[in-house]
Structure 1
Amino acid sequence: MPHIVLFSGGSACRSTNLALLSKPVRLTRIVPAWDSGGSSKVIRENLGVLAVGDIRQALMTMAHGEGRAGDVVKVCNARLTSGSEADAQAEFALYAEARHPLLERMEPGLRGAILNYLRIFRAAIGPGFDFRNGSIGNFILTGAHLAHDGDINTAIFVFRKLCDIAGHVWPSTEAAGVTLSAVLNDDTHVTGQHRVTTLEEEPGRIGIRQIELAAGDGGVPANDAALESLESADAIVFGPGSFFTSVLPHLLVDGIVPAIARNVHARRVFIGNILQCRETRGVDLARMLDIAAGLWQERGGAGARPFTHVLANRQLLPFEKTVGAFAYLGNGALEEACARIGAEAVIGEFEDPWQRGHHDGRAVADVLSSLLPS
């Protein structure tokens, strides 16, 4: 079956991910490794491990799309209470001590593996950790990460086997402690993915000039599993997702751009978002393509097109329309931008008719399937 590799973040590409799983394709998600908010931040800072939140979320989307709904998937998709700390600790203990009904009725081998990873996590995180609203799947995946000597790829492999997931999910780098930062157009520096993606309105209006990735004092090396996926891909898809925090930063990972450029067979498709967001106020799709193309050239893509196709939502009205706090993403001078990078614009009605501001996953998946090389 043709192989589609999807660079993405979390929820924005969920509908596309699910729709692609209904097609006769093999699907790989490459997700960020620089999540710095919520419980992922606390776990990263306490244990010095890779943030697993986006990985776990993508794996659960794969499980849903593949129709996996067994007890293991239910456990891995569970969240603890957001009530008191004591209640959250007590609920976690139900899982870690095999007293939760889902674990009690589970096959002993599966139950034993899950308990092992939960107990490793509990021992490593120590007392005082706030379990409220924590993801059991994150705890299991972090425990597996620790159990397998910090090898996130092995931890993901084990997690997939536990849940019987066929699709692949890899972080673009295995490096722990990767930090995303942005420089605004007024030279203000904003450090941390969670701060960039939640820019207040005024800094959002000022706009982002560039983004940076750093891991310690050196660069950010690519995950070999991600590189292997790119080399075997028939289509490499960017987005949908937060442009400056979930999609574009992958190009900053050492080795990613050259690996894409070497695959001359694959289609390279950029999917424009439906709406602007906090980090892209006032930025249109044509400008996004110019920014991505500039970074592509800087990172070793010279001589190759960054994208062969660009999916853009059709602009139906001659004025700016909003959904909630955000306007629809304008296409801008799209034809000119595509001409500069040698891409073909594919304009269609890609908005979900039932969820304003979201992509219609089936419409996107149908176009992606039609673009696959024969």
Structure 2
Amino acid sequence: MKKSVFRVAALGGGHGLSATLAALRIIAAEHLTAIVTVADDGGSSGRIRQDMDVLPPGDLRMALAALCDDTEWGRTWAQVMQHRFRSRDGVTGSLDDHAMGNLLIVALWELIGDPVDGLRWAGALLGARGQVLPMSRQPLTMSGLVHPPVHERTEPGEEDGAPVRIGSQVELAKAGRMGRLSDVEIHPAQAQACVEAVSAIELSDWVVFGPGSWYTSVLPHLLLEDMRTALYETEAKRCIVMNLIAETDETAGMSPADHLRVLHHYAPQIRIDRVLADPESVKQSEREEFQEVAAQIGAQVVYQEVRSTDRPDVHDPLRLAMALHEVFNS
């Protein structure tokens, strides 16, 4: 018998998680929890966390905006949250490039004293469907090794191809153009996962990973020990939504199958039930390998057209909602 209402936890960050939330808002409504990475150290978020020692608010803001209803109220507040300040010509102001939503979220954190409660108040103001939670109440950082191509030298006197450790999420997000990433870590290693996020995973019917920046938005959830344990022990089924474009500044040279291998490498005990991919995102020559790797992690591949007709590099919310609804009922 098909179930009409599902409890869903969506994990990720940035534009990828926003795409999933815009779709899940249609089919999961009030039973939806967004669990967001908190390792961003660039742009407005990076400046805020450096100045104020708080969680980076940017990805949390984007998740809240994605959960706003498609009404005049919801659309207006989504635009307000995403609005970025620009000084007049010839002036460099302290508010330049800060998003209004980032400032609102941090103000609520300062007044209320807890990031989770602050996000609940922000969600109530926006009329957001579902809830947004940080993966940890503690600001995190990321690092990883970049292995340059063997024919490229690093510094004079150093061995060709010697790996270089990068300690910034922003730098990791473009490290694929420098070489192959490995040994990606979260710091502090023993940081605690947000208890409300762990509970949401435990109580969900489905957990959805991706799409998004593979190493810096999707993978972090598997690197935090408490989160990884919850994802392993939950009775929820697990679904991966693949990116529409496999090769980005972060994943240059990687095939769709390689994306699955990365997640399995860092959390081999976690089994996946479904992998959702747009047919055009996996070439015919790659499909056999892709499906074999999916089967190795316990997953069945589902091909559904989910890209926008106007912007083929962006997921269409309605198409993705219909595809996820079919996955959840399969």
Is the pair's TM-score, using the shorter chain for normalization, greater than 0.5? yes
Q: 1:247 aligns with which of 218, 232, 239?
A: 218
Equivalent residues in 2 for 1:51-90 (5 A)?
51-65=56-70, 68-69=73-74, 75-83=80-88, 88=93
Equivalent residues in 2 for 1:169-208 (5 A)?
169-176=132-139, 178-185=140-147, 186-199=162-175, 201=177, 203=178, 206-208=179-181
> Displacement of 1:9 after TM fit?
1.4
* Equivalent residues of 1:315, 1:331 under 8 A apart: no
Q: 1:74, 1:282 → 2: CA distance?
A: 36
Structure 2 unaligned blocks of 5 or more:
148-161
Indicate whether 1:38 and 2:43 are aligned.
yes
* Equivalent residues of 2:17, 2:63 under 8 A apart: no
Q: 1:198, 1:213 → 2: CA distance?
A: 17
Q: 2:282, 2:192 → 1: CA distance?
A: 44
Q: 1:210, 1:367 → 2: CA distance?
A: 34
1:267 is matched by which residue type in structure 2?
K
Cα distance, 1:292–1:87 mapped onto 2, change above 3 Å? closer
* Equivalent residues of 1:83, 1:132 under 8 A apart: no
Cα distance, 1:36–1:331 mapped onto 2, change above 3 Å? farther
Q: Deviation per CA, 1:103-142, whole angstroms, max 9, x where unpaired?
A: xxxxxxxxxxxxxxxxxxxxxxxxxxx2112112111111
Indicate whether 1:312 and 2:277 are aligned.
yes
2:249 is matched by which residue type in structure 1?
R
The answer for the alignment partner of 2:300 in structure 1 is 344
* Equivalent residues of 1:18, 1:65 under 8 A apart: no
Indicate whether 1:4 and 2:14 are aligned.
no
1:8 is matched by which residue type in structure 2?
G
Q: 1:8, 1:53 → 2: CA distance?
A: 13
Of 24-33 and 338-347, the range deviating more from structure 2: 24-33
Cα distance, 1:331–1:34 mapped onto 2, change above 3 Å? farther
Cα distance, 1:72–1:316 mapped onto 2, change above 3 Å? closer
Q: 2:265, 2:218 → 1: CA distance?
A: 14
Q: 1:331, 1:319 → 2: CA distance?
A: 5
2:101 is matched by which residue type in structure 1?
G
2:238 is matched by which residue type in structure 1?
R
> Which one has the largest radius of gyration?
1
Q: Percent identity?
A: 26
Cα distance, 1:219–1:168 mapped onto 2, change above 3 Å? same
SS of equivalent to 2:267? helix
* Equivalent residues of 1:82, 1:132 under 8 A apart: yes
Equivalent residues in 2 for 1:287-326 (5 A)?
287-297=258-268, 302=269, 304-305=270-271, 307-315=272-280
Q: Deviation per CA, 1:217-244, whole angstroms, max 9, x where unpaired?
A: x522100111111011111010010100
SS of equivalent to 2:132? strand
Of 74-83 and 363-372, the range deviating more from structure 2: 74-83
The answer for the alignment partner of 2:105 in structure 1 is 141
Q: 1:262, 1:317 → 2: CA distance?
A: 30
SS of equivalent to 2:275? strand
The answer for the alignment partner of 1:355 in structure 2 is 311
Q: 2:323, 2:33 → 1: CA distance?
A: 18
The answer for the alignment partner of 1:23 in structure 2 is 27
2:207 is matched by which residue type in structure 1?
I
> Displacement of 1:188 after TM fit?
1.2
Q: Deviation per CA, 1:318-357, whole angstroms, max 9, x where unpaired?
A: 699xxxxxxxxx6571121122111111123332222122
Q: 2:104, 2:82 → 1: CA distance?
A: 11
The answer for the alignment partner of 1:162 in structure 2 is 125
TM-score by length of 2: 0.85
Of 363-372 and 12-21, the range deviating more from structure 2: 12-21
Structure 1 unaligned blocks of 5 or more:
89-129, 321-329
Equivalent residues in 2 for 1:260-271 (5 A)?
260-264=231-235, 266-271=236-241
Q: 1:223, 1:192 → 2: CA distance?
A: 22
The answer for the alignment partner of 1:237 in structure 2 is 208
1:314 is matched by which residue type in structure 2?
P
1:341 is matched by which residue type in structure 2?
I
* Equivalent residues of 2:69, 2:75 under 8 A apart: no
